């Protein structure tokens, strides 16, 4: 996929930041659109269906967390990568972002060269192979995972999951009973060239437990997680 075909939506209430981001990413050939708050971000996302959204957390009218939650309910944007811009040390924003369905975060301030490198790593996920499973449709007990349709059905009820939650569930459920080490999960779900916080997996597992059931996921302390059918 060429840079010219990649659509990126930038969302920030500070015009200077939007200008800097737009300038540096446009110079790489990406197709850029912008929004100044969460409400506008949701509208622009529906209209342009971007491959990547880079969004500030703290914004007027609708913050980035709420905007992310709304975007994650839209089927046409299920594969869109969302990353937040957060100030250094704002761990609460990062955790809240992952809970809302974000894929990653970028810490401000960020140098242009580092920004471009980070964006390339994020976009590489669009072409990364999905976690290896034996079939596009997996049936485990009363849970059905349709990888092709990105659909989960639990006890006859369809559940909408953010992209990373879906991929994490698919990985663990591909081999029920196997203990997946934390490093392996990060590598297969997030990609080994992308550095995410140590709490990322824990946040996503907690959200899956709330939606699929606590008994389906077992924590192996100091090692990782396994799926129990």
What pLDDT is attached to residue 198? 62
**Alpha-carbon 4 to chain mean position:** 22
Model pTM?
0.64
140-186 pLDDT, tens digit each:
878 899 887 788 998 888 888 888 899 999 999 988 888 999 888 88
| Percent of the chain topping pLDDT 90 | 38
pLDDT tens digits, 97-145: 788 888 888 888 888 888 888 888 888 766 653 444 445 788 887 889 9
Give the whole-angstrom CA distance, residue 161 versus residue 163.
6
Q: Phi-psi bin for 29: left (phi > 0), alpha (psi -120 to 50), beta?
A: left
φ, ψ for residue 152 (rounded to 5)?
-120, 130
d(CA 169, CA 130): 12
Rounded to whole angstroms, the Cα distance separating 229 from 221 reads 20
| Domains detected in the chain | 3-124 (3.40.50.2300), 137-227 (1.10.10.10)
Q: What is the pLDDT of residues 177-226, one digit of tens each?
A: 889 998 888 888 887 555 566 688 898 999 999 999 888 999 998 889 99
Helix axes 112-124, 15-26, angle to 10 degrees: 70
């Amino acid at each position: 996929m060429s840079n010219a075909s990649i659509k990126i939506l930038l969302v920030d209430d500070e015009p200077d930041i939007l200008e800097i981001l737009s300038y540096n990413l446009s110079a790489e050939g990406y197709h850029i659109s912008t929004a100044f708050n969460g409400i506008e971000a949701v509208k622009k996302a529906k209209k342009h269906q971007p491959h990547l959204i880079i969004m500030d957390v703290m914004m007027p009218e609708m913050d980035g967390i709420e905007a992310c939650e709304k975007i994650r309910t839209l089927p046409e944007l299920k594969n869109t990568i969302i990353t937040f811009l957060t100030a250094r040390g704002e761990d609460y924003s990062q955790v809240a972002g992952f809970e809302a369905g974000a894929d990653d975060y970028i810490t401000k301030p960020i140098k242009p060269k580092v920004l471009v490198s980070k964006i390339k790593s994020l976009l590489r996920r669009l072409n990364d192979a999905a976690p290896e499973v034996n079939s596009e449709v997996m049936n485990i007990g009363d849970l059905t995972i349709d990888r092709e349709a990105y659909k989960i059905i639990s006890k006859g009820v369809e559940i909408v999951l953010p992209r990373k939650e879906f991929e994490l569930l698919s990985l663990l459920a591909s081999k029920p009973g196997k203990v997946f080490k934390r490093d392996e999960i990060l590598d297969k779900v997030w990609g080994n060239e992308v550095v995410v916080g140590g709490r990322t997996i824990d946040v996503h597992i907690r959200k899956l437990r709330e939606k699929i059931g606590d008994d389906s996921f077992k924590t192996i302390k100091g090692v990782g997680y396994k799926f129990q059918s």
